[in-house]
Amino acid sequence: MPVTTTLPSDLASWMGTIQTRVEAALSRGMPAADRVPARLHHAMRYAVLEGGKRVRPLLAFAAGEVVNAPPERLDAVSCALEFIHAYSLVHDDMPCMDNDVLRRGKPTVHVEFDEATALLVGDSLQTLAFEVLSHPRLCENPGVQLDMLSTLAIASGTRGMAGGQAIDLAATGVTLTLPELEFMHIHKTGALIRAAVKLGGLSGERADPSVMHALDQYAKHIGLAFQVVDDCLDAEGTTATLGKTAGKDAVQGKSTYVSLLGLSRAKALAEELRQSAHDVLQPLGARAARLGALADFVVRRQF
Amino acid sequence: MPVTTTLPSDLASWMGTIQTRVEAALSRGMPAADRVPARLHHAMRYAVLEGGKRVRPLLAFAAGEVVNAPPERLDAVSCALEFIHAYSLVHDDMPCMDNDVLRRGKPTVHVEFDEATALLVGDSLQTLAFEVLSHPRLCENPGVQLDMLSTLAIASGTRGMAGGQAIDLAATGVTLTLPELEFMHIHKTGALIRAAVKLGGLSGERADPSVMHALDQYAKHIGLAFQVVDDCLDAEGTTATLGKTAGKDAVQGKSTYVSLLGLSRAKALAEELRQSAHDVLQPLGARAARLGALADFVVRRQF
């Protein structure tokens, strides 16, 4: 797999613009840190702000370009996605789950605050995701908005992210087959990435079914690629470059693409998935260029 | 306060009918216990089914009578309310929060299963609440359905239930003033009870503002009365009659209406709130009779 450490300058610039925009939307979308209950609000902001690549918002904005979605609506969609993602990280890091102390280069929420606060932070961020997405007049067509809410809920629940987490939990110390590993990741990380692309597509309010289908195929490839690359980085990276504890999959006895395939076959799989993602975008033409560039980024990133 | 141990027979019969109906809806509304991830689904069903008075669904159905709401829609609303309520109980009982071992006469979820499962059960039940309420065609008017979702999210988040929980956490071992105690309860339990009545009212799809206002005033009185009575029952009851650990407020050094007012003044306050609830229902006439009867039940219950 060819590895580039620098991004194409137009992608880097676009990513920077969206990341800055989303950071501002996230900050506006959460209660101020001095508002009662202040400790909880402070901890929510700590968990969400100044960290993360914002991959899901980037995917939503890029999918939104395909359907000419208004950026204000994509801001709300991005907040909902990141609040769900952040809630899952906060809870996954807790002592009764992965018991991790470092996330995005900072102490995890239960370390910086306390366990009870971390529990409430996760709970409240999940609620806030649905609050921001149910805001009156977010969409011109309230039926589309309901579809967004339903999509996010299904992707986050036991048929999606939380279900994947439960499967992951049950699989610790057990060697999975490749199909079992894929099944877990399709749920644990794939479902929310797929939702990110779909929500971006729905933000245009009148996307045609063939476009939505192409977006969904793209999202499936990218979701899996994202996890394969994560496994490679976890095996190769250092805590400093990752901003989270490196090598913990091996320590926890978790099956990964690297443990099942070896590093070089895992990298080849990621590259295949990147190519498949480009292939399904083909019929969408130039308006999907950003999604293609993001596929390259997801597979070739170093962190 | 006059105490009746038996309910008026028509109220008891109506409550039984609704409770049976809601139990069936809750069971249908959750994934089967043998569906992957089976342990999580099994634990979710354990947390929700066969327990609880279903006070929030009863309030939603009674408010629904005022506006001629279809019972199928009230089933969905009841599921959403009970999933949120059950999630909050599962998380509140965890070791990092109240560390309780008994709930509804059964071992709490983290005792019966494990902490990681309890965490995921709460997370997944919250998600499921928003999933059931975002179901396509639940309402004829999708704008009303969005209003329901927004109401539930705001009532559950840091401006509602989770915020109240955070305030409660910070107040353990601290003597609160009566206004501080009221502020906490308006959030911790009051917000979701108020949402229950509002969702019942919205289920009619075209409730007029004066009706919605009367319902909301009623819900405020009942929400507070519910907590005052809970405090009285905790002080007087036994673990056997309550189905949860009795006397734990005093053990944990929590301020309650009983600790601040004494038992007899707390009972008098509950009776006052019951009367106020009846007063605000007056303009709604006979169609609000069930809400009136529920006010009596909430204040005069023994469990």
At A1 the pLDDT is 37
- The answer for A 171-190 residues in CB contact with B (under 8 A) is none
pLDDT at B151 over 60: yes
pLDDT at B235 over 80: yes
> Which tens digit of pLDDT belongs to each residue from B257-274?
999 999 999 999 999 999
Share above pLDDT 90 across residues of chain B, in percent, rounded to a whole number: 83
> Which tens digit of pLDDT belongs to each residue from A229-282?
999 998 887 766 667 777 777 777 788 999 999 999 999 999 999 999 999 999
- Residue B47 in contact with partner chain A when CB distance is under 8 A: no
Query: Using alpha carbons only, how large is chain A's radius of gyration in Å?
Result: 18
**Nearest CB to B126; choose among A41, A127, A136:** A127
At A288 the pLDDT is 97
Omega before residue B37 within 30° of 0, cis: yes
- Residue B87 with chain A: CB contacts under 8 Å: 123
At B166 the pLDDT is 96
pLDDT at B1 over 60: no
Q: How many angstroms from the chain centroid is the CA of residue B298?
A: 11
Grade residue B302 by pLDDT with cuts at 50, 70 and 90. Answer: confident
At B207 the pLDDT is 76
Contact assignment for A147 to B154 by CB distance below 8 Å: no
The mean pLDDT value for B138-161 works out to 97
CB atoms within 10 A of CB A264: 11
- Residue B156 with chain A: CB contacts under 8 Å: 127
The mean pLDDT value for A158-176 works out to 92
- Residue B140 in contact with partner chain A when CB distance is under 8 A: no
Contact assignment for A146 to B150 by CB distance below 8 Å: no
- Residue A16 in contact with partner chain B when CB distance is under 8 A: no
At B96 the pLDDT is 96
pLDDT at A207 over 90: no
At A242 the pLDDT is 66
- Residue A99 in contact with partner chain B when CB distance is under 8 A: no
The DSSP string of chain B is ----SS--HHHHHHHHHHHHHHHHHHHHHS--TTSSSHHHHHHHHHHHSS-S--HHHHHHHHHHHHTT--HHHHHHHHHHHHHHHHHHHHHHTSTTTT---EETTEE-HHHHS-HHHHHHHHHHHHHHHHHHHT-TTSSSSHHHHHHHHHHHHHHHSTTTHHHHHHHHHHHTTSPPPHHHHHHHHIIIIIHHHHHHHHHHHHTTS---HHHHHHHHHHHHHHHHHHHHHHHHHHHH--HHHHSS-TTHHHHTT---HHHHH-HHHHHHHHHHHHHHHHHHHGGGGGGGHHHHHHHHHHHH---
When scoring A127, A128, A168, A182 by the number of chain B Cβ atoms within 10 A, the one with the most, hence best to mutate, is A127
pLDDT at B4 over 60: no
- Residue B31 with chain A: CB contacts under 8 Å: 158-159
Share above pLDDT 70 across residues of chain A, in percent, rounded to a whole number: 96
At A2 the pLDDT is 40
Cα dihedral value B222, B228, B234, B238, nearest 10? -60
Q: Which residue of chain A is at minimal alpha-carbon distance from B99?
A: A116
At B236 the pLDDT is 87
Is residue B127 within 8 Å of A126, Cβ to Cβ?
Answer: yes
**Nearest CB to A153; choose among B97, B118, B134:** B134
At B5 the pLDDT is 47
Residue A178 DSSP class: H
At A253 the pLDDT is 78
Categorise residue A253: left if φ over 0, alpha if ψ from -120 to 50, beta otherwise: left
Cα dihedral value A173, A179, A184, A186, nearest 10? 160
pLDDT at B242 over 70: no
At B6 the pLDDT is 59
Contact assignment for A96 to B116 by CB distance below 8 Å: yes
At A86 the pLDDT is 98
| pTM (two decimals) | 0.94
The mean pLDDT value for B209-237 works out to 94
This model of the complex carries an ipTM of 0.94
Supply the angle between the helices B161-171 and A115-133 in degrees, to the nearest 10.
160
The mean pLDDT value for A163-169 works out to 94
When scoring B113, B130, B137 by the number of chain A Cβ atoms within 10 A, the one with the most, hence best to mutate, is B130
> Which tens digit of pLDDT belongs to each residue from B190-199?
999 999 999 9
Is residue B56 within 8 Å of B194, Cβ to Cβ?
Answer: no
- Residue A116 in contact with partner chain B when CB distance is under 8 A: yes
Q: Is the dihedral of CA B268, B274, B277, B283 positive or negative?
A: negative
Q: Which residue of chain B is at minimal alpha-carbon distance from A93?
A: B116
CA distance A285 to chain B (A): 32
Average pLDDT value for chain B: 93
CA distance A48 to chain B (A): 15
At A101 the pLDDT is 95
- Residue B146 with chain A: CB contacts under 8 Å: 134, 136, 142, 145-146
> Which tens digit of pLDDT belongs to each residue from A45-104?
999 998 889 999 999 999 999 999 999 999 999 999 999 999 999 999 999 999 999 998
At A52 the pLDDT is 87
Report the C-alpha gap between B170 and B162 in whole angstroms: 13
CA distance B97 to chain A (A): 6
* Residue B103 dihedral angles phi and psi, to the nearest 5°: -150, 130
Which of these, A166, A186, A51, lies nearest to A109 by C-alpha position? A51
Report the C-alpha gap between B229 and B12 in whole angstroms: 19
> Which tens digit of pLDDT belongs to each residue from B45-61?
999 998 889 999 999 99
- Residue A36 in contact with partner chain B when CB distance is under 8 A: yes
Share above pLDDT 70 across residues of chain B, in percent, rounded to a whole number: 96
Contact assignment for A162 to B39 by CB distance below 8 Å: no
- Residue B36 with chain A: CB contacts under 8 Å: 163, 167
The mean pLDDT value for A160-184 works out to 92
pLDDT at A4 over 70: no
At A221 the pLDDT is 97
